[in-house]
Amino acid sequence: MKAIFSFSLLLLALPLLADPTRPPATVQAQQQGAQSAAAAGPRLELIIETASGYQAMLNGNLVKAGDRFGHYRVQSITAERVVLVGDSGQLQLSINNKKIKTYEP
């Protein structure tokens, strides 16, 4: 009887011992939240002016006019905003991260 009880406790503890290097659930939730934010759409982080024109940092990637970014093409970059064109229309990102969507027929 004691052996059966000990064996039952061991079976209950197995999921906890599955991977001792696995991060806690809170860390995994934070990582998934960051991935969801990245998948939510482009985020303008900064605009820089170079000798050849403006470049922008979108979700950690440096882009210039004409580059592709996900499902979008970078149409133009000015000191105030980045204009992206995709299947759903035009998306304007300003430096303060306010998104302005413009749809053209």
Say if CB 55 and CB 5 are below 8 A apart. Answer: no
94 with 100: CB under 8 angstroms?
Answer: yes
> DSSP characters for 46-81?
EEEEETTEEEEEETTEEEETT-EETTEEEEEE-SSE
**Residue bearing the bigger pLDDT, 28 or 45:** 45
Mean pLDDT of 6-30: 64
pLDDT band at 26 (very low <50, low <70, confident <90, very high): low
**Residue-level pLDDT at 50:** 86
Q: Strand 72-77 to strand 81-86: parallel, antiparallel, or no bridges (unpaired)?
A: antiparallel
Q: What is the pLDDT of residues 67-83, one digit of tens each?
A: 999 889 999 999 899 99
